[in-house]
Structure 1
Amino acid sequence: MIDVAHLSKRYREVAAVDDVSFRCAPGTVTGFLGPNGAGKSTTMRMVCGLTLPSAGTATVLGVPYRRIANPGRHVGVLLDAAAQHPGRTGRETLGLTAQVLGVDQSRATEMLDRVGLSGKAARRRVGGYSLGMRQRLGIAQALIGDPSVLILDEPANGLDPEGIFWMRSLLREFADRGGAVLLSSHLLREVEAVADRFVVIAGGRIVAQGSKADLLTAPGGVLVRGLDAAALHGTLAAAGLPVRPDGAGAFVVDAPAEAVGRAAAAAGVVLTELRQATGGGLEELFLTLTAEAPGAPVNPAAIPATPPFAPPVPAQETLK
């Protein structure tokens, strides 16, 4: 469970994140979307305790991330695949991670196999890895502690189509076992394929959030298609049902499916499709919401330099 409540971050006069609130429930993949500079990475860094918020709170599994004892055993994080020691091999990298987290070294071998970096790839130095290989290694590091929450920032960067499909399957499987995933990505179609919920941010503010069905379903109306398009259109119009062509040989009718079906049956018009109308997909939703969002995205170059880590919080660890 991830719970973000009224989270804000200001760098002097620049509002990088402004009053952001959302939740990621167990058993779901939440797609965190927004244009460059919208505040996604800053928000995720605050969730992971790497950036101190100006206001608001973020908890993971009920407590602030930085108060979780041995957090890698509970939360898997991948924020920057390039942040790996180039001189170590993939096997050494995961072996060290296993040692730090207190898990058996066999877990490192298991994760290397799972992400497709076994054999020669495991013995190569990370400095010689492609970006896609670094992403796979970062995902293996996030999973090695057998966490119940995953927080991933652009994990598909550098992956080929096969790798993207593999990652999609992995995240879906993780969520289906009861895990919670917060996924940031600019690959909208891939996010649409795997996510249950979307949180869209622009200009540092949430501009939309909800389930896939809520956000991608057109408000009201059904889509209907028949063997004789002209007859179908005439029948629906004669029945007083608001109808308009969808541009692909079907019609969108602002009426319940039952009313459409009854009108067609009464006129003897054969239907080949009758379903809830949907919008133009995630890409259209994203472009519409981010274009209409108030304020311009934050330019990272305009943000004054600050230390990357917040000072330690002297608090009792509450999640063992």
Structure 2
Amino acid sequence: MIQVEKLSKRYGDHHAVRDVSFTCAPGTVTGFLGPNGAGKSTIMRMICGLTAPTAGRASVLGVPYRTIPNPGRHVGVLLDAAARHPGRSGRETLLLAARAQGVPDARVDAVLDEVGLASAAKRRVGGYSFGMRQRLGIAQALLGDPAVLILDEPSSGLDPEGIHQMRGLLRGFADRGGTVLLSSHLLFEVESVADRFVMIARGRLVAQGAKDELTQGRSGAVVRAADDPAALRSALAADGLAVREARADRAFVVDAEPALVGRAAARAGVALAELHGTAGVGLEELFLSLTGSPEAGEGAR
């Protein structure tokens, strides 16, 4: 179980995270989504006690992470795949961690095999590709046979086979009762494995829930002006109709029935080139409409 309650972090006048709350339950994978710079890494560092919050609190397994004795036996963490000594082999890296945690040496070989690094175990980490370092970080997170995994962008640098393998590994972990918090700025990386989603943008929580909960009831209309998109937007605003998304083809996705959109355009004398209903939105469309462009943000990961 992971609980985040009204977490905020401010650096001077800059609000990196503002009043974020969510829960990750046992037996689930929670996809933690947001553009680069949205505040995901800052929140994960606060959960793990590496960054002090300005306000709010976070707990793992019911207590602050810093108070957990020998935390690697209970919580597996991957926040920075580069934080490994380049002169040691992959196996040496894990052996040191295993002995610090009181884990049998045999567990090292088991997790190396689990993440697909058995054949590279004796190679120095400095010679690993970025994807291999990601795999090593996941192996170290799994080393203590924890109940909770907290992984920041673990699929970054992995090839398609590695991403597929990671999804199966995390799905199996959750199906055995584990709790997974998995961050990414790319929805497709986590959509097939996550049970629930937490979306943030510019340090704020913008949505959370299961996929069906997030996309349910978001029907509306797609409308495109024949000549003047600005006039159409003004007409919609005058009737209190919210534009959910402005598309690249100059069409608007509006949170209203097509008939209401057509009346607003007619009253303003705006000619339309396109108007039709939409049965709903997919998770990707919702994510982009709530968080802005994939690269948006205020500089805090």
Q: TM-score, normalised by structure 1?
A: 0.73
1:164 alignment counterpart: 163
1:16 alignment counterpart: 16
1:124 alignment counterpart: 123
State how far apart, in whole Å, the 1-side matches of 2:39 and 2:129 are: 27
Q: Supply the AA of the counterpart residue of 1:148.
A: A
State how far apart, in whole Å, the 1-side matches of 2:73 and 2:162 are: 25
Q: Supply the AA of the counterpart residue of 1:49.
A: G
Is the contact made by 2:219 and 2:281 (CA closer than 8 Å) also made in structure 1? Answer: no
Q: Supply the AA of the counterpart residue of 2:157.
A: G
2:73 alignment counterpart: 73
Q: Supply the AA of the counterpart residue of 2:142.
A: L
Q: Supply the AA of the counterpart residue of 1:82.
A: A
2:47 alignment counterpart: 47
For residues 125 and 54 of structure 1, do their structure 2 counterparts lie closer, same or farther at Cα, with a shift above 3 Å needed?
A: same
For residues 279 and 94 of structure 1, do their structure 2 counterparts lie closer, same or farther at Cα, with a shift above 3 Å needed?
A: farther
Deviations 1:202-254 (A, max 9, x none): 11100111112101334479xxxxxxxxxxxxxxxxxxxxxxxxxxxxxxxx9
Task: Tell me the number of residue pairs that the alignment of Structure 1 and Structure 2 aligns.
Answer: 243
State how far apart, in whole Å, the 1-side matches of 2:284 and 2:157 are: 21
State how far apart, in whole Å, the 2-side matches of 1:54 and 1:217 are: 35
2:245 alignment counterpart: none
2:271 alignment counterpart: none
Where in structure 2 are the equivalents of 1:223-234 lying within 5 Å?
none
Deviations 1:129-186 (A, max 9, x none): 0011001100000001000000000000010000000000011111111111000012
Q: TM-score, normalised by structure 2?
A: 0.77
1:317 alignment counterpart: none
1:283 aligns with 2:261: no
Residue 166 of structure 1: SS of its match in structure 2?
A: helix
Q: Supply the AA of the counterpart residue of 2:165.
A: W
2:261 alignment counterpart: none
State how far apart, in whole Å, the 2-side matches of 1:113 and 1:36 are: 32
1:137 alignment counterpart: 136
Is the contact made by 1:91 and 1:123 (CA closer than 8 Å) also made in structure 2? Answer: yes
Residue 291 of structure 2: SS of its match in structure 1?
A: helix
2:202 alignment counterpart: 203
Task: Tell me how far 1:281 sits from its aligned partner.
Answer: 2.5
Deviations 1:105-135 (A, max 9, x none): 000011111111113x001000000011001
1:297 alignment counterpart: 297
Q: Supply the AA of the counterpart residue of 2:209.
A: G
State how far apart, in whole Å, the 2-side matches of 1:195 and 1:181 are: 9
For residues 198 and 83 of structure 1, do their structure 2 counterparts lie closer, same or farther at Cα, with a shift above 3 Å needed?
A: same
State how far apart, in whole Å, the 2-side matches of 1:100 and 1:201 are: 35
1:38 alignment counterpart: 38
Structure 2, unaligned runs of 5 or more:
221-256, 258-277
For residues 194 and 169 of structure 1, do their structure 2 counterparts lie closer, same or farther at Cα, with a shift above 3 Å needed?
A: same
Residue 207 of structure 2: SS of its match in structure 1?
A: strand
Residue 133 of structure 1: SS of its match in structure 2?
A: helix
Residue 6 of structure 1: SS of its match in structure 2?
A: strand
State how far apart, in whole Å, the 1-side matches of 2:217 and 2:167 are: 26
State how far apart, in whole Å, the 1-side matches of 2:219 and 2:280 are: 11
2:108 alignment counterpart: 108
Q: CA RMSD in A?
A: 1.9
Q: Supply the AA of the counterpart residue of 1:161.
A: P
Is the contact made by 2:42 and 2:300 (CA closer than 8 Å) also made in structure 1? Answer: no
Q: Supply the AA of the counterpart residue of 2:127.
A: G
Is the contact made by 2:39 and 2:300 (CA closer than 8 Å) also made in structure 1? Answer: no
The structure with the largest alpha-carbon Rg is 1
State how far apart, in whole Å, the 2-side matches of 1:24 and 1:299 are: 26
Is the contact made by 1:216 and 1:278 (CA closer than 8 Å) also made in structure 2? Answer: no
Q: Supply the AA of the counterpart residue of 2:92.
A: E
Structure 1, unaligned runs of 5 or more:
222-253, 255-276, 302-320
1:84 aligns with 2:77: no
State how far apart, in whole Å, the 2-side matches of 1:153 and 1:204 are: 16
Q: Supply the AA of the counterpart residue of 2:287.
A: F
State how far apart, in whole Å, the 2-side matches of 1:32 and 1:172 are: 15
1:6 aligns with 2:6: yes
Q: Supply the AA of the counterpart residue of 1:134.
A: R
State how far apart, in whole Å, the 1-side matches of 2:158 and 2:283 are: 21
